[in-house]
Amino acid sequence: MAVLRPHFDDALKSLKHSMLEMFDYVISAFDSMFTMLENNDQELATHLIEGDRRVNIHEQQINEDAFLIILKQCPVAGDLRRIMTAVKIANDLERIADYAVNVAVYVLKTDHDNSTYRQQMLAYKKPLADMLLQIKKAYETQNIDLARSVSELDYTIDALYQKDIERFITIAKEETSDIAAEAARSLPVIKHFERAGDHVTNIAEHIVFLHSGEHTELN
């Protein structure tokens, strides 16, 4: 084991590096997503959709690397938790990236003026950006307290979502024009934002589990 351990440590460092790269990609994708919404940028929407394959390949590579480490090194206890936590977090990050792609499709398939709804969607930019940046830092520094505080930011997104869903549903019911149609089409988009917050909270729970060995439900 004394001979194998340096290789094991290098493999764990490489896995963590790949995870941080995936965090960076998702953070960048969400930043681009909100720029796309702000400017109704269809070229950027196309770029986001084309880039989705990259994050899928990245997740697949992390999974493969993780299971190869398990097969070759037979880790136990804390080391095994580190590896399996990476796999779970990669899955959550892939799901978050999918939401950016779905919002890009929404922009590309919009035929009528949806500027009112797109501007409202920008309210989610700061809380989601804060969550993503801080959860990356919590993972990188193994900071449980930061992970817990990140999950609390999800309340802001939930409050925005609740307010907007009531507003958009009311418009969709009361109007009979393109305005109503766009209100209805906007509902799944804000749901993507709400679900993205949930997945960041999942990541926070994984980080807490990594260091405590206990499953804790946050938010």
**DSSP annotation of 219:** -
**Alpha-carbon separation of residue 126 from 156, 160, 172, 174, 192 (angstroms):** 10, 12, 27, 31, 15
**Which band of pLDDT confidence, cut at 50, 70 and 90, is reported for residue 71?**
confident
Residue 89 has pLDDT above 80, yes or no: yes
Say which residues have a Cβ less than 8 Å from residue 26's Cβ, sequence separation at least 6. 55, 93, 96, 97, 100, 132
**Segments making up each domain of the chain, as ranges:** 4-212
Percent of the chain with pLDDT over 70: 97
pLDDT of residue 193: 98
32/112: higher pLDDT: 32
Tell whether the model's pLDDT for residue 1 goes beyond 60. no
- 10 secondary structure, DSSP code: H
Q: How far apart are CA 213 and CA 192, in angstroms?
A: 30
The beta-strand segments (E) located in 14-101 are: none
**Averaged pLDDT for residues 139-144:** 94
Label residue 197 by pLDDT band (50, 70, 90).
Answer: very high
Judged by average pLDDT, the poorest of 11-15, 45-49, 111-115 is 111-115
Pair 65, 18: CB distance under 8 Å: yes
Residue 98 in this model has a pLDDT that exceeds 50: yes
pLDDT at 133: 97
Residue 64 scores a pLDDT above 90 = yes
pLDDT at 9: 85
- pLDDT confidence of residue 210: 86
pLDDT of residue 3: 45
Q: What integer pLDDT is reported at residue 15 of this predicted model?
A: 95
- Give the model confidence (pLDDT) of 115-132 as tens digits: 999 999 999 999 999 999
Tokens of 90: 């990669």
Q: What's the mean per-residue pLDDT of the chain?
A: 91
Reply yes or no on whether the pLDDT at 4 is more than 60.
no
pLDDT digit string, tens, across residues 153-192: 999 999 999 999 999 999 888 877 888 888 899 999 999 9
Q: Which fold is adopted by the domain 4-212?
A: Methane Monooxygenase Hydroxylase; Chain G, domain 1 (1.20.58)
Residue holding tokens 């690397």? 65
Residue closest to 178 by CA, chosen among 103, 111, 105: 111
Please say if the pLDDT value at position 2 is more than 70.
no
pLDDT the model gives residue 39: 96
